[in-house]
Amino acid sequence: MKQTYPWGHTRRFNDFPGHIRRLFNRRVQKISLDTGFTCPNRDGSRGRGGCTYCNNQTFNLAWCELEVPIREQLDRGMAFFSDKYPDMTYMAYFQSYTNTYAPLENLRQLYEEALAHPRVTGLVVATRPDCVNDEILDYLAELARRTYVMVEFGIESHLDRTLLAINRGHTFAESVHALEETSRRGIRTCAHLILGLPGETREDFLEQARVVSALPVENLKLHQLQIHKGTVMARQFASNPDAFTLFSAEEYTALVVDYLELLNPAIIVERFVSQAPAELLVAPRWGLRNFEFVARVEKLLKERDTWQGRCFNLD
C-alpha cells in the first residue's frame, strides 16, 4: 500500500492542482489579465528601472491586451482552454506588475468586474509586499468571505542584500509584515521566490526554506533564475557571467528536493519552475516543460525515499 502523507494523498509533495481539485471538485484554471498597473520601483516612488531580472513580456499571454476590457480578456482566455476541459471553472488572475498599486476605488471596479463573470470562481492578485495597506486588505478580506481570494506576494529572497542588489525596493521585513497582515484577515497567501539570484548560495536557499516555513504562507511558487532579454540582469550577465551561477536541470532538481525536505508540509506548492518564451530567454535553456520538470522532482523524491517536510523543524 502506498504511503499517505500529511496533506492526505500519495504524492510526495503538497501539490496545488490536487489541493484545488479537492477544494472545488473540478479543474480550475487561472486566466491572466493585464489592466495597466505599474510598480513603485518603476515610477520613482521607490526607485526607477524595475527589478533587474524583470521583463513582463515573458508571462503576458495572447489574450492579455491592455486595451481589451476585462470581460473580453476573460472570455478569450476561457476560449483557449474550454475545448480541452469544457467543465473547467476559472480564477481571474491579476498578474502583470503590481496589482494593488492603485486607489481602492479603482481596484474595486477591476476586481468586481472580473468576479461578475459567471464562470469566474475566485480572484488571484499578484502584488508586492510594500503595496498593500489596511484599506486594501480589509476590502480583500470582505471579498474572501464570499469567494476564493489569494494574494500572491513577490518576495523573491529572504536576504535584504539580495533585494537591494536586484532593485526590489522593499525589505524582507516588509514581506513578513504583509504576509502576517493578509493571513490575519483570513485571506489566502502565496509567496513567490526565485532560487539562484546572484550572490546567494546553496546554504542560503536551504535557510530560505526554513524561514518561509515559519511564516503564514499558504501557497508557494518557486522558480529558477532565468536571464531575460531586455533586462538589467541580461546586461550584467553579458558583462560579467562569472557573477552568476545558473543551474543545470539536474542541479536544480536536486536543490528543489533538498528544499522540499525542509519545507513545512502544510505549505501548498504551486510550482517549481518557470519557462520564458525562447525568443526572450538568454539562459539557462533546459528545453523542459513544467510537467516534465515535476516528473523529475517526483522521480528523485522516490529514489531518495523522501518527501516534503521530512526534515521540517527537526532541529
Q: How buried is residue 86: exposed, middle or buried, by Cβ count under 10 Å (0-12/13-18/19+)?
A: exposed
Span 28-53, average pLDDT: 90
Map 23-42 to HEC letters: HHCCCEEEEEECCCCCCCCC
Give which of 287, 154, 282 is closest to 230, Cα–Cα: 282
State the pLDDT at residue 68.
86
Is residue 145 within 8 A of residue 180, CB to CB? The reply is no
User: Quick check: 1 pLDDT over 80?
Assistant: no
State the pLDDT at residue 66.
61
Span 204-214, average pLDDT: 98
State the pLDDT at residue 151.
98
DSSP assignment, residue 274? -
State the pLDDT at residue 276.
87
Give which of 64, 188, 178 is closest to 128, Cα–Cα: 178
- Residue that has been written with the C-alpha cell 522558480 in this structure: 223
State the pLDDT at residue 314.
62
In degrees to the nearest 10, what's the CA dihedral of 248, 250, 256, 257? -160
State the pLDDT at residue 271.
96
State the pLDDT at residue 65.
62
Distance CA 233, CA 35 (A): 26
Distance CA 195, CA 202 (A): 9
State the pLDDT at residue 315.
55
- Chain segment 112-140, per-residue pLDDT in tens: 999 999 999 999 999 999 999 999 999 99
User: Quick check: 74 pLDDT over 70?
Assistant: yes
pTM for this entry: 0.94
Give residue limits of the domains in the chain: 16-304
Parallel, antiparallel, or unpaired: how do β-strands 281-283 and 227-228 relate? antiparallel
Share of the chain above pLDDT 90, in %: 82
Q: What fold is seen in the domain 16-304? A: TIM Barrel (3.20.20)
Which residues, including other chains, have CB under 8 Å from residue 65's CB and lie 6 or more apart?
34, 73
Span 163-175, average pLDDT: 96
The average confidence (pLDDT) of the chain is 93
- Residue that has been written with the C-alpha cell 476561457 in this structure: 78
State the pLDDT at residue 58.
54
- Residue that has been written with the C-alpha cell 483557449 in this structure: 80
Q: Which of 64-73, 172-181, 258-267 has the lowest mean pLDDT?
A: 64-73
The whole-angstrom distance between residue 243's C-alpha and the CA centroid of its chain comes to 25
- Chain segment 215-273, per-residue pLDDT in tens: 999 999 999 999 999 999 999 999 999 999 899 999 999 999 999 999 999 999 999 99
59 pLDDT band (50/70/90 cuts)? low
- Residue spans of alpha helices (H) in the chain: 16-24, 70-82, 104-115, 134-144, 160-165, 172-184, 202-213, 232-239, 249-262, 290-304
